[in-house]
Every structure is written in C-alpha cells, then in structure tokens.
Chain A
Amino acid sequence: MDYFWELFFGGLTRGAIYALIALGYTMVYGIIELINFAHGEIYMIGAFTALIVAGVLSMMGFSGISILVLASLVAVIYSMSYGFTLEKIAYRPLRHAPRLSPLISAIGMSIFLQNYVLLAQTSDFLPFPRLIPKFEFMKPYYSTMAESDLLIILVAAVAMILLTMLIKFTKMGKAMRATAQNRKMAMLVGVNVDRIISTTFIIGSALAALGGVLIASHIGQINFYIGFIAGIKAFTAAVLGGIGSIPGAVLGSLVLGWTESFGTGYISSDYEDVFAFSLLVLILIFRPAGILGRSTTQKV
C-alpha cells in the first residue's frame, strides 16, 4: 500500500506542475483559440533564468530560502516579459490570418527559442541547485512525499485559487471572459481586447515560470529541451480536461499525472511518454471536447 501512496503523491506532484503550465495553454486557447506552442519554451526560459539567478546569488553568499524567493521572482518577471514579447511579435500580426498561420508561427517561435537558449547557454543538462529547504516535520512522510512535493502542490493550489478569483471577481477577469465569449462584441462595449490578450499571455507565462522553477528544483536538472515535452504534456492535460476551461485544465492535469505515475509504477517506466500521448489520442477520439468541455457545434 505504501507503494500505492508513493505513486499517488508522485502523480499529484506531477499533476500540479502540469496544471501550472496547462493553465497558460487553456487561458490563451480560451481567448484567441490558438495553441501557443511556444508556451513550453516560456517555462524552460523561466527555469533557466531561475538557474542563472540562483547561481549568481549563491556565489554572492545568499542563503537557501532567499535564493528560492528571489530566483522565482526574477524568473516570473522574465517569463512574463517573454510571453508579452512573443505575443506581440508572433501572434498579434496574425490576428486575422487563417487558422493555420498562427499555429505555424508558434511552432517557429518554439524552435527559435529552444535554439536561442541552446546557443546562448549550453546543450548539456545543467544541475539545478536544490533550493527547497528541508523541514523537520516532514521526516516521517519521506517514503511518500518530500518537501518539494508539498511545496509544489501548495504553490499550485494557491496559484489556481488566485487565478480563479481573478477571473471570477475582478474587472479584468470580467473583460477576459467577455473577450473569450465574443471578441468583437467585447470590443464594442469598450474592452481593450489587445490589452486583455497581452494580459492573458503574461499571466499564463508567470504560472509557467513558477512551474519551471519548482520542477527544476524538484528534479534537479534542466536543459534547453525540457519545454517541448512538458509543453506537449501540459497541452494534453488541457485538452483532457476540456480546453478553455480552467477547472478542466486542473482536473486534466491531475488525471494525466496519475496516469503517468501509475503507468510507470505498475507497467513500465520506459513508456512514460507513450502513456501520456496515448491518453491524448484516446481522449481526442472518444471525447474531443474533453472531460469538462462543452462540445460546440460549428456555425457556418
């Protein structure tokens, strides 16, 4: 039974990470119906920025927890800036183009950012410092859960609650919902649609950066390619839950996390990614709208 709980919490941690990334996908898709392929790259850049800042700070003699906070803060700020710039360069000029154009542009941007980090930094795996401190009270639970797991789950939960509140109760959230529902109509009632879309990218990128920092210090190494697989999986999670829906993204991420965790634990660890992709293919075939998504009929 211990093994089961270990896998259960492992899956929960994974799911929480996926959720942080998946929220960015689902928000962007909800508003402009674009799969932001470069979102995984934003996550990777967040992790790299955190690594660089943490490296510099630790050599300057800062201590554990302050490094963690500062590195995450800088990573979040930089990821937000990247998200904002990305939207401005690669997606905004294509607002009225056919559907395939922004998607191809997004793939191009993803390749570009990967190689930018590859050339400017390195292609090797870099060891990421263990930024998450050890707590005394966690000792008895080590067989199932470590500090990093707890922290990841807590941060993800808080981020999601804040996001939900932002969307439900603030004026900005209202404008976002309006834009998602009908962009033209929102524009007519005085919503600055361009700004809303930028904000969506910025919020999504901030969450992705948080995910990046947390998972990097959880796993302990990063390279320029981590964004690709994580991005695809987070997208899978978003689709699984019903893309465009925020609770759906969270639910989908948890389901995906558990599928992978139990799949690798009980079947075979070689096929971890195959489980994720197979789940994606199956879901799209049998329930294209996702678990919580509503299927919409296409209008002519």
Chain B
Amino acid sequence: MNGLKKSLLVSIWFMFLTFPIMVIRVNTVNKTIEWRWENVLWIGLGSFVLSFVWRYLMERRNRGGSSDGDQGGKVQTMIRQIMTQPRFFLPAGAFLLAAAAVFPLITSTYQVNIMITALIYVMLGLGLNIVVGLAGLLDLGYVAFYAVGAYTYALLNYHFGLGFWLVLPLGGALGALFGILLGFPVLRLRGDYLAIVTLGFGEIIRLILENWNEFSQGPSGIANISRPGFFGMEMGVTQASVYIYYLMIAMVIVTIFVVNRLQDSRIGRAWMALREDEIACQAMGIDKMKTKLMAFSLGATWAGFAGVIFAAKTTFINPASFTFLESAIILSIVVLGGMGSILGVILAAFIMILLPEYLRAFSEYRMLIFGAAMVLMMVFRPQGLISTPKRHYTYKGQAKETGAKA
C-alpha cells in the first residue's frame, strides 16, 4: 500500500515535470498551439510502473551489497570458465571465426556494411578501453584521434594519391602523435579536469576541420576517397565491401590480440595500478608520466587506424562524423561492456550499433536510450555487462605462517 502511494506520487510528479515539454508544442511562426494531452497519460502510466521497477532494483542493490547477485554471479563464472579453459574457448573461437568468414557469402552488401561499421566500433571501443578501462583516464575527446586518422587518409589521398596500405600505418602513427601531444599537457590533471580538457581538445579539432576551408574543405568534406586496393585488382562496390569486411575482421583480431597481451604485460599492470590508486602506484616506483603517455598514445593509435578504415569504407568524410556524440557513443560502449573487459566491449559494440540498425522503428529513440542506459548502468551495474575479475595473487610459499594475518 505504501508502495502504491509512493508510485502514485512519483507519477504525479513526472506528469507535472514533463507537462510543458511533452504536452504543448508552440509554433511561433504560424501562431498555433498543439496540445498533446495523451502524452500526460503515457508519462503517468510509464512512471507509475517504472517507479516500482526502480524501487525493486534499488532494494536489490542495497540488499545485495556490492555487485553480483546469485544469478549474475553464476553467469559470470560460467563465462569466465569458458574464457580461461582452452577446451571451451578454442572451439567457440573457431566457430565464431567460421561464422564471420561465411557471413558476407550468405548475406547482402547492406548487411556487410553494417557489420563493418560495428567492427569499426569494436576497434574504437577496444582502443578507448585502453585509456578509460585499463588506465582509468576519462577521455571525452577520443573521436578527435579518429578524425585525425580519417583526415590523414582523405587528405593524403586527395592531394598526393597515396594508397590505403601506405596511409594505414601513417594514420596510426599520427594518431599516436596527437595522443602524445594531448597527453603531455594534461598529465598533471586529475579525473574530471582531464575529462573536460579532452572534451575541449576534441571540439577544437572538429571546429578547426569545420572552419579551415583551405585545409580540410570545411563542412562540405572530402569526397571520392579511394577504397583500399588489393595488389592492383579492380573491384566493384560489392567486392570492395567484402574485402574491407575481411580486412576489418583481421584488424579486430589483431586488436584483440594486442590488447590482450598488453593487459598482461608490465605496462598493462602499471595502467591498472594507476587506475586503482595513483599515489600508491607512484610509491611502487611506476613512472606515472610514461605510463599515462603510453596509454594515451596507444589508445589513439587504434582510433587512427579505425579512422583510416572509416574513410576508406565510406569514401566521403566531413566534420559532422566526428562530434562529441560520437565520443559519447564510444565511451558508452566501454562503460556498458564493463571497463577493462575485452569481451564486454565487443559485445557492447555489437549491441549498440546493430540493435538500432535492425530495429529501425526505434532508431529515433536510440540516443535517448543510450543516455538512459548510461545512467542506469552506473546506478545498478557499474561493472558493466561483463566485469573483469579483480586478480588476487596469493603467495603460496609461506601461506601457513602468514595465513592467519592475511
């Protein structure tokens, strides 16, 4: 009964709150007002039901303490087992690879193009995952490096006719260079300041691309960028997409491999230490500056690669593809997937890109749902879809003597 009353109050409050914006639409030119009273009803009903869900989840969150509920826990351990035992993940990986290989043979060019986009986002997500997930540096201007990669290829191709394969490493290198350029000044900044400066940096890059007409052709962008070649073979549009698709699969596999190896390397552990506690990490003798710069430049490298491929895929780029929203999407992929978790990021990238593609009807609501998902994720499941287990090292040698103390 108490719950009913509370929900009733909530729904009345939301009806009041959304009243002017949801109900009234004023046309100041024609001097007409459109009243949409039915929206009040929807809002009222919706918030009434949702408030029950909210309260239930809230209670569960408070009861369950930190994170894993019983069910979530089981699924998590299952996934973890699959991930760690070669018996499971080798066949699973082989199956996925086979499925990915035959995908363009059994579907249309349209599907292949969507898949390429999703794969580009997988790459971007994994790249940003290095910076945000592993090193704990919130980068809101990640799309700037993506733009650097894309414009590197577009401009070099336009002016000098350089080919894709030549520019791909160049794009990565330039991305890394910009990463370091940005990284240097902002090294001293903590958390949220860093976020704002990276955001500002991203916007500066976009604004320059938009306004410096002689350099980047401004908002009209650069068209007719050539597609990647394959030993000088002539390819139609369909073949080119399939080719880029396979290329992307290969790139993603390389990315996964590299990120995975990085995670377990010395620098990867330094990143995680930095993320957990900066001061303790410094006290352990880790060079903070080097570690952060590495994170920035490596993350930016992947964005550079992805940018080059993006330009080659669409054959047309303009600054509108590199807005803050894009950074936010990539960030929400990382957050949704579970910071630091490779599998989670891949999964989240597919969900975020493919879902709105296939559910065209709700693609209008896509950003609305992204935003809500980011908030809900932070409130109810901050560790993401698939959380990375914290690793504990147990010292086995003298476990008996120190066991009691530990």
- A111 x B21 contact (CB < 8 A): no
- Chain A residues with Cβ under 8 A from B17's Cβ? 78, 81-82, 85
Q: Is the CB of A281 within 8 A of B200?
A: yes
Q: Which of B77-85, B223-231, B328-336 contacts A (4 or more CB under 8 A)?
A: B328-336
Cα A126 to Cα B24 in complex, Å, equals: 14
Query: With an 8 A cutoff between CB atoms, is B258 at the interface?
Result: no
B332 and A284: CB pair below 8 A? no
Contact of B373 with A by CB under 8 A: yes
Check: A110 CB closer than 8 A to any chain B CB.
Answer: yes
Interface residues of A in 249-300 (CB under 8 A from B): 270-271, 273-274, 277-278, 280-281, 284-285, 288, 298, 300
Determine the distance from Cα of A51 to Cα of B382 in the docked complex, in whole angstroms. 38
Chain A interface SS verdict (over half): helix
Q: B368 interface residue, CB < 8 Å from A?
A: yes
Q: Is the CB of A280 within 8 A of B200?
A: yes
Q: What string of 1s and 0s marks CB contacts (under 8 Å) between B349-384 and chain A? A: 000000000000000110110111111011100100
Task: Report A4 CB to chain B, min CB distance, Å.
Answer: 25
A59 within 8 A of B: yes
A35 touches B33 (CB 8 A): no
B138 an interface residue at 8 Å Cβ cutoff? yes
The answer to whether B188 and A288 have CB atoms under 8 Å apart is yes
B189, CB-defined interface residue at 8 Å: yes
Q: Does A163 contact B (CB under 8 A)?
A: no
Q: Give Cα A277–Cα B205 distance, bound, in whole angstroms.
A: 10
- Interface assignment of A100: CB less than 8 Å from any CB of chain B: yes
Instruction: Kindly state the separation between the CA atoms of A16 and B195 in the bound complex, as whole angstroms.
Output: 25
Does A101 make an interface contact (CB < 8 A)?
yes
The 8 Å CB contact of A284, one of B28, B39, B186, is B186
Q: Is B52 an interface residue (CB 8 A)?
A: no
A108 with B201: CB separation less than 8 A: no
A97 to B379 alpha-carbon distance, docked (Å): 9
Check if B371 sits within 8 Å of A104, measured CB to CB.
no
A173 within 8 Å of B (CB atoms): no
- Measured between C-beta atoms, what is the minimum distance from B259 to chain A in Å? 20
Q: Is the CB of A239 within 8 A of B370?
A: no
**Is A188 in the interface zone, CB < 8 Å from B?**
no
- Nearest Cβ on chain A to B339's Cβ, whole angstroms: 8
Q: A5 within 8 Å of B by Cβ?
A: no
- A274 near B208 with CB under 8 A, answer yes
Q: Does B211 contact A (CB under 8 A)?
A: yes
Q: Which of A104, A127, A278 has the most CB of B within 10 A?
A: A104
Given contacts A107-B331, A111-B374, whether A271 and B21 have CB atoms under 8 Å apart is no
Is residue B41 contacting chain A, with contact meaning CB distance below 8 A?
A: no
Partner of B372, one of A45, A93, A112: A112
Closest Cβ of chain B: how far from A196's Cβ, in Å?
Answer: 21
Give the docked Cα–Cα distance between A85 and B22 (Å): 17
Identify which of residues 1-46 in chain B touch chain A, using a CB-to-CB cut-off of 8 Å.
Answer: 13, 16-18, 20-22, 24-29, 31, 33, 39
Mask for B250-289, Cβ within 8 A of A = 1, else 0?
0000000000000000000000000000011000000000
Residue A43 CB within 8 A of the other chain: no
Number of interface residues of A (CB under 8 A): 67
Residues in B whose Cβ lies below 8 Å from that of A104 = 138, 331, 335, 374, 378
Query: Which listed segment binds B: A134-142, A154-162, A204-212, A228-236?
Result: A228-236
Cβ-based interface call for A223 (8 A): no
CB-CB under 8 A for A78 and B20, given A273-B207, A277-B201: yes
Q: How many A-B residue pairs have CB under 8 A?
A: 173
B191 close to A (CB within 8 Å): yes
Q: How many residues of B contact A (CB 8 A)?
A: 62
Known: A116-B21, A116-B368, A271-B207. Is A111-B328 also a contact (CB below 8 A)?
A: yes
Residue of A105, A119, A228, A271 touching B364 (CB-CB under 8 A): A119
B185 at the interface (CB under 8 A from A): yes
Selected from A105, A270, A277, A281, the residue in CB contact (under 8 A) with B374 is A105
- Cβ–Cβ < 8 Å partners of A114 in chain B: 367, 371
Question: CB of B196 within 8 A of chain A?
Answer: yes
Partner among A53, A108, A284 whose Cβ is within 8 Å of the Cβ of B371: A108
CB-CB under 8 A from B185, the residues of chain A are 281, 284-285
Q: How far in angstroms is the closest Cβ of chain B from A97?
A: 6
Task: Bits for B184-226, please: 1 = Cβ < 8 Å to A, else 0.
Answer: 0110111111011101110110011001000000000000000
Q: Is there a chain A Cβ closer than 8 Å to B136's Cβ?
A: yes
Selected from B22, B136, B188, B279, the residue in CB contact (under 8 A) with A120 is B22
Q: Is A55 an interface residue when CB atoms closer than 8 A count as contact?
A: yes
CB proximity of B131 to chain A, nearest CB, Å: 12
Q: Which of B27, B191, B373 meets A108, CB within 8 Å?
A: B373
* Chain A residues with CB under 8 A of B26: 51-52, 55-56
Is B324 an interface residue when CB atoms closer than 8 A count as contact? yes
Instruction: Point out the residues of chain B lying under 8 angstroms from A52, CB to CB.
Output: 20-21, 24-26
Any B CB within 8 A of the CB of A48: yes
Is the beta-carbon distance between B28 and A55 smaller than 8 angstroms? yes
B75 within 8 A of A: no
**A121 CB-CB contact with B under 8 Å:** yes
For A103, list chain B residues within 8 Å (CB): 138, 191-192, 195
Q: What residues of chain A lie closer than 8 Å to B370, measured between beta carbons?
A: 108, 111
Do B138 and A112 have beta carbons less than 8 Å apart? no
The reply on B92 being an interface residue by CB < 8 A is no
Complex CA gap A104/B383 in Å reads 13
- The listed residue (B13, B186, B378) touching A101 by CB distance below 8 A is B378
- Which of chain A's residues have a CB closer than 8 A to the CB of B324? 228
Chain B residues with Cβ below 8 Å from A49 are 20-21
- Tell me the smallest distance from the CB of B336 to a CB of chain A, in Å: 10
CB-CB < 8 A to A108: which residues of B? 332, 370-375, 377-378
List residues of chain A with CB within 8 A of the CB of B197: 280-281, 284
**Bound-complex Cα distance A136 to B140 (A):** 48
Residue of B nearest to A271 (CB): B211
- B191's nearest neighbour on chain A, judged by CB, is A99
Interface string of A125-147 (1 = CB under 8 A from B): 01111000000000000000000
10 contacts between A and B (CB under 8 A): A52-B25, A52-B26, A56-B24, A90-B375, A105-B375, A105-B379, A111-B328, A116-B368, A120-B25, A277-B203
Known: A111-B370, A277-B204. 12 other contacts (CB 8 A): A56-B26, A82-B17, A90-B379, A102-B378, A104-B378, A105-B379, A111-B328, A112-B371, A115-B368, A120-B22, A277-B207, A284-B186
